[in-house]
């Protein structure tokens, strides 16, 4: 049962001048979306964009609520999965939105995980030179990362997220209850992005997660809401400082350089979810730093142990257990180079001086990184 009033546990504001917005976090918010978005509506019309998997669980509640509130409500859906984040799906989505006569006074609601949020945000950014949209993230990864901060994109043949725009949502509504329908593996994958905020610059949050992470993953709603709040506040601070990633925002890529390379090695498939790749990448980044005398070995071990304790991969051996991966260091280095993280023969990497002391290193020599990967791949076989 939902209460008569929306049960907003936390509100986090993202301060970006005219593009500022609130992130509303709470339980059972889906049924209250019409009340929450009412101040944004210029005419009483919304289009919900979602995917088939999310639609099965969450569309009826949102759609009924919108219809009962007297909103003209339309739905556009797409197949679930990364394959939908394509140029052809973007075209189909735009054609649908145009056929529904969506214009700049309407509101597009992106109901789903990162794929739905990213493609819908990008469609909104270019439809009639920019329409407004609201993110309603239904995965932990989307609630703590991809729905916040305005990065929108589709994938190109040459790589992930290569076509996109910065386009901030008008509101983010994170209904913690939607996490109840996530498969545990997907929830854990999203949790990696939560851990990331602790590892960037917030050791106290990492310690809180070390204590509460397991209970949160097992279903404690208050802990989930608090973890989402803390993560969104951390991301909001970074985005407010560096909206278009000319500097500090790159810290949010901690774990992503190694992670993307392993995602490429698994063909961006379900063998390795993005969040799992990030967990592995964070484990490896800490190990790399420890092995090169940049970070205490005990901190790298602490990170590894927490990730592994909650069932996330933190070493290449964990990955072998997970997906039967076969690759080599040369392939991974090429994937890193493809990721546009090489300039003048040097890599840009997010490295760390210890727990919660991540920094942007722009001049990393690829040779020791390749040697590190060769060693770790050999040790895992
Ligand atoms: N997901 C990284 C960022 O939003 O910058």
pLDDT digits (tens, 9 = 90+) for 179-222: 999 999 999 999 999 999 999 999 999 999 999 999 999 999 99
Residue 332 lies in a domain: yes
pLDDT tens for each residue of 272-329 = 999 999 999 999 999 999 999 999 999 999 999 999 999 999 999 998 655 556 688 9
Evaluate whether residue 2 is within a structural domain.
no
209 and 300, same structural domain?
yes
Q: What is the dihedral of CA 82, 131, 103, 133, to 10 degrees?
A: 60
b vs e for 62-96, b when ≥16 Cβ sit within 10 Å of the residue's Cβ? bbebbeebebebbbbbbebebebbbeebbeebbeb
In a domain, 238, yes or no: yes
Residue 3 confidence (pLDDT) above 50: no
Q: Tally the residues of the chain.
A: 381
What CATH number corresponds to the domain at position 122?
3.40.50.1970
Domain count, the chain: 2
pLDDT-derived band at 339 (thresholds 50, 70, 90) equals low
Contacts of residues 371-376 at CB distance under 8 Å and 24 or more positions apart, as own/partner, are 371/329, 372/284, 372/287, 372/288, 372/291, 372/292, 373/329, 373/332, 373/333, 374/328, 374/329, 376/284, 376/287, 376/315, 376/316
Catalytic sites, residue numbers: 129, 151, 193, 235, 245, 249, 253, 256, 260, 274
- Residues 6 or more apart from 235 whose CB is under 8 A from it? 144, 145, 148, 149, 197, 252
CA 343 to chain CA centroid, nearest Å: 26
The CA distances from residue 379 to 132, 192, 282, 316, in Å, are: 50, 24, 18, 8
Do 188 and 156 reside in the same domain of the chain?
A: no
Q: Which two tokens stand for residue 308?
A: 């592994």
Distance 150 CA to ligand 1 centre (A): 8
Q: Which domain holds residue 327?
A: 184-379
Q: Nearest Cα to 223, choosing from 147, 140, 302, 305? A: 140
Looking at the structure, do residues 290 and 374 belong to the same domain, yes or no? Answer: yes
Same domain, 200 and 294: yes
The CA 80 to ligand 1 mean position distance, Å, reads 21
Output the pTM of the full model: 0.95
Percentage of the chain lying above the pLDDT 70 cut: 96
Q: Could you tell me if 366 and 245 lie in one domain?
A: yes
Residue located nearest, by CA, to atom 3 of ligand 1: 252
Closest atom, ligand 1, to C-alpha of 235: 4
Please report whether residue 3 resides in a domain.
no
> What secondary structure letter does DSSP report for 20?
-
DSSP helix/strand/coil, 110: strand
- Ligand 1: centre distance to CA 244 (Å): 10
- 165 and 259 belong to one structural domain: no
In a domain, 263, yes or no: yes
CATH number for the domain spanning 247: value is: 1.20.1090.10
């Amino acid at each position: 049962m939902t209460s008569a009033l929306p049960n907003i546990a936390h509100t986090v504001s993202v301060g970006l001048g005219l593009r500022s917005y609130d992130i509303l976090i709470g339980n059972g918010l889906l049924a209250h979306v019409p009340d929450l978005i009412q101040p944004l509506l210029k005419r009483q019309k919304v289009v919900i964009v979602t995917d088939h998997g999310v639609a099965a669980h969450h569309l009826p509640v949102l759609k009924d609520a919108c219809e009962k509130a007297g909103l003209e409500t339309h739905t556009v859906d797409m197949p679930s999965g990364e394959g939908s984040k394509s140029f052809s799906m973007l075209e189909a989505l735009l054609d649908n939105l145009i056929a529904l006569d969506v214009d700049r006074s309407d509101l597009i609601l992106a109901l789903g995980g990162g794929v739905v949020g990213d493609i819908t945000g990008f469609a909104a950014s270019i439809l009639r030179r920019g329409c407004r949209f609201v993110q309603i993230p239904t995965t932990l990864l989307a609630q703590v990362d991809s729905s916040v901060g305005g990065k929108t994109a589709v994938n190109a043949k040459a790589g992930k997220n290569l076509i996109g725009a910065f386009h901030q949502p008008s509101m983010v509504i994170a209904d913690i209850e939607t996490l109840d329908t996530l498969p545990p593996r997907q929830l854990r994958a999203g949790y990696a992005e939560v851990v990331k905020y602790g590892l960037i610059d917030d050791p106290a949050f990492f310690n809180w997660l070390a204590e509460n992470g397991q209970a949160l993953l097992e279903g404690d709603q208050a802990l989930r809401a608090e973890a989402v709040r803390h993560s969104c506040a951390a991301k909001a601070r970074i985005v407010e400082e560096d909206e278009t990633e000319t500097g500090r925002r790159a810290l949010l890529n901690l774990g992503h350089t190694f992670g993307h390379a392993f995602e490429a090695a698994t063909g961006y498939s379900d063998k390795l979810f993005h969040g799992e790749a990030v967990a592995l990448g964070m484990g490896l980044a800490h190990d790399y730093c420890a092995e090169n005398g940049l970070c205490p070995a005990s901190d790298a071990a602490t990170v590894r142990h927490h990730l592994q304790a909650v069932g996330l991969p933190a070493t290449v051996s964990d990955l072998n257990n997970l997906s039967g991966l076969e690759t080599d260091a040369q392939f991974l280095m090429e994937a890193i180079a493809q990721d546009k993280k090489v300039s003048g023969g040097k890599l840009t990497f997010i490295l760390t001086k210890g727990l919660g002391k991540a920094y942007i290193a722009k001049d990393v020599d690829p040779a020791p990184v390749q040697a590190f990967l060769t060693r770790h791949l050999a040790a895992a076989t």
